[in-house]
Amino acid sequence: MSRILTAWRWTSLAALTAMVLAVGLDRVFPPPPLAERSIVVTDERGQMFRAFPVEGGRWRLAADLESIDPAFVSALIAVEDSRFYEHHGVDPMAVVRAGFNAIRAGEIVSGASTLTMQTARLLEPRPERNLGSKLMEVLRALQLESRYSKDEILETYLTLTPYGGNLEGVTAASWAWFGHAPDRLTPGQIALLIALPQAPEARRPDLRPENARSGRARILDRLASYDIIAADIAAESASDPIPVRHDFPGLAWHASQYLRTANADGAVNIRSTLDFGLQQQAERLALDAAEAAGPDVQLSILIVENETRAVRAAIGSASRARDGGWIDLSDRPRSPGSTLKPFIYGMAFDDGLAMPHTRITDAPRRFDSYMPENFDRMFRGDVTVAEALQHSLNVPAVETLDAVGASRFAAGLRFAGASPVIGNSADTDTGLAIALGGAGLTVRDLATLYTGLANGGEVRPLVWTADALAADAPGMQIMSAESAGEILNILRGAPQPSGRAPASLTSNAPAIAFKTGTSWGYRDAWAAGIAGGYTVVVWVGRADARPRTGQTGREAALPILFDIFDMLPQQETPREDREPWRLAQETPEPMARYNRDPQPEILFPPDEAEVWMEASGRDYVLAGRAESALRWYVDGRPVALNAAGEPVWTPQGPGFYAVRAVDIEGRSTVSQVRIITPAG
């Protein structure tokens, strides 16, 4: 009895020691981690936009059993490891069967490797196939089974399995050979996907189609013998054409690259907010528009859903095959032209400097050394602020920015998430030039700002991923909701592009609140619009910033903007968004006229003007603007008035003169003028 007890104790101790040793070795020598997998960018529903290869240019897309045809999974297990869900990594019955078959045939007929053992071999490839490597596969298989579920092991296997060339995993193989995800497969496709890993290079459809055909036929016969598919279907599927290799999807090329770069969590599958169908439509429209515009023209487009701030379509370039197409032009600072004017006026409304119906003068004016002109080099005289914005008049915008403060305005843009690139921000003149495009902004910046305008003046970051839709990102109120509403109302009344019927004449069509912009030298053409629950920004130009003479935002970008709104999903449009814009009738007296700076202004002759005097004794009538009567001096001497009360100046000859106008309060301004005569 004592011997039995002693033996039992030693046996128990040995077993316990073996268990401790096994656990220790398992911890010291864990199975290798899963290799790097391709990052895949999809829309919210899982439609693939783009996948990125891993090291060595290999396509290794993660397998997800929920996204793989169940018929394929059942067929794979039947062929490769029928007892997969019953064994613990090693199948003793398969080992016995393989040994018996080998003895009977005098050679190895069938292997005993389970799917788990094959997974271990894929995770830790060994150069030689011998008894030692086989024992290591067994140990690794047992480790995998103790750590992971059967489904996790199967997904790992289906991620790493070689399918010829640089293809790894059933998802990559399905896209490459069939042009779609493995969620729907024909019997012939299932058989080919099972046959390829058995001899990935020998059966490559693109290099050895006959081998692929015979390998597929063998698997079809086996599936028919297992009663997984009918014999007639197997025979019919054996005659299916051998597929050619397809390119991987390449939609939303630049947006996918941006999402991959911004993928801080290291997610393998990135669900974007982009809408697959809308992205396709936008890419087709962009390419058609670019081809119609010229051989070297590029486009960038952003479509944002206002309520969620989700980016629903993003075009970095019209085509990578066109000049500069590999550059993401939605993320390159370009001069925004006049597209920032709505935000200047919105801030002025908030400051109580003006209202939409406040009158302001569009006439030549100098701001220190900066003298803006209108695009057509004409001036309209007395206009309302609303008219100045609708017709994109430059002097009123610069005058308003001067009152708001250029530095404050630029800071507001930065706080809102748009960072204007200014050549010399310490220069006051450069600051005022922001009103006319003197600071670089990206398409994304403008989309962020205009989406904020659509959301009551509250600017928040754009949302690019589905997971971020529920996040409550902090916002910045760039203008009040009341001012934002006024600005949108004004922009809805801007002159429509030629060939477009007013929204009020179209059934349920929203009036688009839009603003165009053209940079200096016709390098950039812009259009930004808000309607129907969306914000759209369009940029047209050359990637290398060469000019496109005569191509303005209104001519080059605005028609594309309207075409995009035509293709957007129709939403119920509020009545006020369909009615034409009307100017309010009543104007509070203090806001009737914009007059921030009562300093007198000389209209003729303007500062630094060269005036031609064709004959000696020629008279010139001086003109100015002020709140009171002006007194005039030339080189310190008073200028006499004619019978009509106009100041008349007769230059003494060619040369330089200082013309000064002084109002009743003693405020004055000076124009430095040069008189040129035929003789001098």
Q: Which two tokens stand for residue 661?
A: 């106008």
Catalytic: 80? yes
3-state per-residue secondary structure call for 606-640: CCCCEEECCCCCCCEECEEECCCCCEEEECCEECC
The helix/strand/coil state of 202 is coil
Q: In b/e form, how buried is each residue of 320-330, taking b as 16+ CB within 10 angstroms?
A: eebbbbebbbb
Q: How far, in Å, CA of 48 to CA of 126, rounded?
A: 34
Q: Which two tokens stand for residue 432?
A: 């005022």
Q: Closest Cα to residue 488, out of 459, 517, 462, 452?
A: 452
Q: Which two tokens stand for residue 322?
A: 């066109």
Q: State the DSSP string of 537-565.
A: EEEEE-TT----TT--IIIIIHHHHHHHH
* Beta strand residue intervals within 424-581, DSSP E: 458-459, 476-477, 513-518, 524-531, 534-541
Antiparallel, parallel or unpaired: β 631-634 and 655-662: antiparallel
Q: Closest Cα to residue 473, out of 454, 457, 459?
A: 459
Q: How far, in Å, CA of 430 to CA of 433, rounded?
A: 5
Q: What helix, strand, coil percent values describe the chain, rounded to 5?
A: 40, 15, 45
Catalytic: 110? no
Angle at 300 between CA 298 and CA 301, to 5 degrees: 145
Q: Which two tokens stand for residue 245?
A: 């290799």
Q: How far apart are the first and last CA of the chain?
A: 137
Q: State the DSSP string of 250-298.
A: BTTHHHHHHHHHT-TT--SEEEBS--HHHHHHHHHHHHHHHHHH-TT-E
Question: Would you say how long the chain is, in residues?
Answer: 680
Q: Which two tokens stand for residue 392?
A: 């994109």
Contact 676, 610 (CB under 8 A): yes
* 605 prior amide bond cis, ω within 30: yes
Task: Give 362-365 contacts, CB < 8 A, sequence gap 24+.
Answer: 362/388, 362/393, 362/395, 362/396, 363/395, 363/601, 363/603, 363/625, 364/395, 364/603, 364/606, 365/395, 365/399, 365/601
Q: Which two tokens stand for residue 290?
A: 């670019």
Q: In b/e form, how buried is each residue of 565-587, taking b as 16+ CB within 10 angstroms?
A: beebeeeebeeebbeebeeeeeb
Q: How far, in Å, CA of 617 to CA of 242, rounded?
A: 96
Cα torsion 351, 352, 357, 358: sign: negative
Q: How far, in Å, CA of 439 to CA of 430, rounded?
A: 8
- The CA-atom distances, in angstroms, between 594 and each of 107, 353, 383 are 100, 7, 10
Contact 671, 602 (CB under 8 A): yes
3-state per-residue secondary structure call for 417-428: CCCCECCCCCCH
Catalytic residue of the set 44, 74, 80, 555: 80
Catalytic residue of the set 38, 113, 237, 338: 338
Supply the residues annotated as catalytic. Answer: 80, 338
